[in-house]
Structure 1
Amino acid sequence: MACVRVFAAVSFIILLPCLLIVVVDGKTLKRDVKALNEIKASLGWRVVYAWVGDDPCGDGDLPAWSGVTCSTQGDYRVVTELEVYAVSIIGPFPTAVTNLLDLTRLDLHNNKLTGPIPPQIGRLKRLKVLNLRWNKLQDVIPPEIGELKKLTHLYLSFNSFKGEIPRELANLPELQYLHLHENRFIGRIPAELGTLRNLRHLDVGNNHLVGTIRELIRIEGCFPVLRNLYLNNNYLTGGVPAQLANMSNLEILYLSYNKMSGIVPAGLAHIPKLTYLYLDHNQFSGRIPDAFYKHPYLKELYIEGNAFRPGVNPIGGVGGNSSGQSWWSGVVVTTIVSTDLDYFDVISSFE
Structure 2
Amino acid sequence: MEAASLTIDASDVPATPGIGVGTWAWGNQFLWGYDPDQDAELEACFRRAVERGLLFFDTADSYGTGRFHGRSESLLGRFCASLEPTRREALTVATKLAPFPWRLGRRGYRSAFEASCLRLQGKLDLVQLHWSTARYLPWQELPLLEGLADLVQEGRVAGLGVSNLGPKRLRWLHGHLAERGVPLRSVQVQLSLLSPDPIAPGGVAEVCRELGIALIAYSPMALGLLARPAGVAPALSGAPRGLLARRVWPRIQPLLAVMETIARSRGGDVAAVALNWCRAHGALPLAGLRRVSQVDAAAAALSWQLSEAERQELDSLSRTCVAAGGAMPANPFQSA
TM-score scaled by length of structure 1? 0.25
Q: Which has the higher strand share?
A: 1
TM-score scaled by length of structure 2? 0.26
Of the two, which has the highest radius of gyration?
Answer: 1
Relative contact order (alpha carbons < 8 A, sep ≥ 6): 1 or 2 greater?
2
